[in-house]
A and B are shown apart, each in its own frame.
Chain A
Amino acid sequence: MAETVLPPPLTLAVGDRVVYPNQGVCRVTSVESKEVAGQTLTFVTMKREEDGAVVMVPEAKVRSIGLRKVAGRADVDRVFSFLRSDSDKANLDWKQRARTNVERMSQGGLMGLAEVVKGLQVLSELRPLPTKERELYDNARHLLVAELSASLSIAEVDAEDSVDVVLFPPGRERPKRTAEEFRTATGDEDGMELGEDLLGLGGEIELGGESEPEEPEAEVAAEPPPKAKAAGKAKGEKKPAAKKPAGEKKATEKKAAARKPAAKPEKKAAPKKPAPKAAAKKPAAKPAKKK
């Protein structure tokens, strides 16, 4: 994990409006000392403006969680100029993209939210967003609009329309992008394939099962899919069979799914070997029975 630079210390007073990362705009309702497990700690109590949810944070943790004051006018101007700019950087590597977006959401401030919104909007011009990213886009947009609304003291609907007038200018057609445009920006195509390292994702990144397969599906149109899929299946067949015992459910399911496609290449390569199938099954079954 990359080290993150902590923001400057924040002094909070009752009535201050702050932004709690990933939660939204809150108002400080009290700053009081409490004794917890024999220690006297100062807690900052905040109320989320959206729904009135109450959050208590130890004062010592305020910096590390990324709590910050509502963005000022200068920040807002920078956000609008960024949204207006032609920075179409959208990373095609979904893992990198997910990591960056999670970081931007929690540590990036108002500009981070704008980057997530713009990045995903640009990406959506290439292909529909997977479910998880669509949710992320909606969350980022919600937080961005709420903070802009608080910062400019305008209604949320006006803040949202202000953002969208820039992102979707009136009278202009939605551009259609190609994967080539993004490839030059990112320089690789790692994100186009789903390898085994998918399983090694960090626990902090929420990437549901739904979002993962959707990406390659969308890119299948541009990429040669059958080879990649066949290669993936071939890898999937051999490894579980070699490493894992036959007792596990997942392995049996994979084997069952793999048997049919596996039989064909074997037949083609060595047409005289139908017998090893039965032979291979029997030794696997016998130890299981003995146990």
Chain B
Amino acid sequence: MIRLVTLDAYDPKVIDRLCKVLYTAFGVGCEHAGDMPLPGGQSEPFDAQALLQALPSPRAYADDKILYLTSRKLKPRSLVSGDVPSSGFSNQNGPRALVSSAGVKDPEAGLKLIARHAMHQLGHTWELHHCLDPRCAMYPPWTLNYDAGDTFFDTFCRDKSEQKIRLAKS
């Protein structure tokens, strides 16, 4: 089950549609688990990793994945080999993911992009690695044409995520 937690105000229609897209993509239920205030002590642009660590978890089962959605900007991440723009964060095989819709002015119109980034971060929580197919949501999100892509997993990623979800079901 994917539990969507909003950290800012969003139109309920957008949230409904996002839940539907995620349900279609992963084949597991997705529901809005409520709103949550942003933790104090941090300012915009947020460090995605630190923000995710500071956020409290809603009530959920062990196999559930929690997706936090915010409209705030995230800091570029500093890595060993260079900096990379950040639109979200999640740990491999972790229970939680964070996605920012800061680059989307109208969430209703830009839902596809938000959903694509959400799929990407949730994919990491189901141990998916980055993909070679530019159409796939698991393609590295900082690449040039990523934002023009669709809410789509290629065959390999879809099969792998289905397998992981099946194995994780308790």
Binding site for B on A (CB under 8 A): 76, 80, 120-121, 124, 128-129, 131, 134-135, 137-138, 141-142, 145, 152, 154-166, 168, 170-174
How long is the Cα–Cα vector from A158 to B156 in the complex, in angstroms? 23
Tell whether, in the assembled complex, residue B92 and residue A160 are in contact, meaning their CB atoms are under 8 Å apart.
yes
CB < 8 Å: which of B82, B85, B129 contacts A138?
B129
- Other CB < 8 Å A-B pairs besides A128-B132, A145-B92, 4 of them? A76-B80, A129-B132, A161-B140, A174-B143
Q: Assuming A138-B156, A168-B143, is B133 touching A128 (CB within 8 A)?
A: yes
B134 within 8 A of A: yes
Query: Which residue on chain A has the smallest CB distance to residue B78?
Result: A158
How near does chain B come to A170, taking the closest CB pair, in angstroms? 4
How near does chain B come to A274, taking the closest CB pair, in angstroms? 47
How near does chain A come to B10, taking the closest CB pair, in angstroms? 26
Q: Which residues of B contact A131 (CB under 8 A)?
A: 156
Question: Mind listing 23 A-B residue pairs with CB under 8 Å?
Answer: A76-B80, A80-B81, A121-B132, A128-B132, A131-B156, A135-B156, A138-B156, A154-B80, A156-B91, A157-B91, A157-B124, A158-B77, A158-B79, A159-B80, A160-B92, A162-B79, A164-B130, A164-B140, A165-B82, A165-B142, A166-B81, A166-B82, A173-B144
Q: Which residues of A contact B130 (CB under 8 A)?
A: 141, 160, 164, 168
Q: Interface digits, B74-112 against A, CB 8 Å rule (1 contact, 0 not)? A: 000101111011000111100000000000000000000
B145 within 8 A of A: yes
Tell whether, in the assembled complex, residue B92 and residue A170 are in contact, meaning their CB atoms are under 8 Å apart.
no
Query: Which residue on chain B has the smallest CB distance to residue A152?
Result: B80
Query: Which residue on chain B has the smallest CB distance to residue A120?
Result: B132
Tell whether, in the assembled complex, residue B144 and residue A171 are in contact, meaning their CB atoms are under 8 Å apart.
yes
Most B-side CB within 10 Å, residue of A137, A157, A173: A157
How long is the Cα–Cα vector from A172 to B134 in the complex, in angstroms? 13
How many pairs, one residue from A and one from B, have CB atoms within 8 Å of each other in the complex? 76
How long is the Cα–Cα vector from A145 to B128 in the complex, in angstroms? 12
Q: Interface digits, B131-158 against A, CB 8 Å rule (1 contact, 0 not)? A: 0111000011011110000000000100
Query: Which residue on chain B has the smallest CB distance to residue A50?
Result: B93
Q: Which residues of B contact A152 (CB under 8 A)?
A: 80
Q: Which residues of A contact B84 (CB under 8 A)?
A: 161, 165, 170
How near does chain A come to B170, taking the closest CB pair, in angstroms? 16
How near does chain A come to B12, taking the closest CB pair, in angstroms? 31
Tell whether, in the assembled complex, residue B89 and residue A157 are in contact, meaning their CB atoms are under 8 Å apart.
yes
How long is the Cα–Cα vector from A155 to B144 in the complex, in angstroms? 25
Tell whether, in the assembled complex, residue B129 and residue A145 are in contact, meaning their CB atoms are under 8 Å apart.
yes
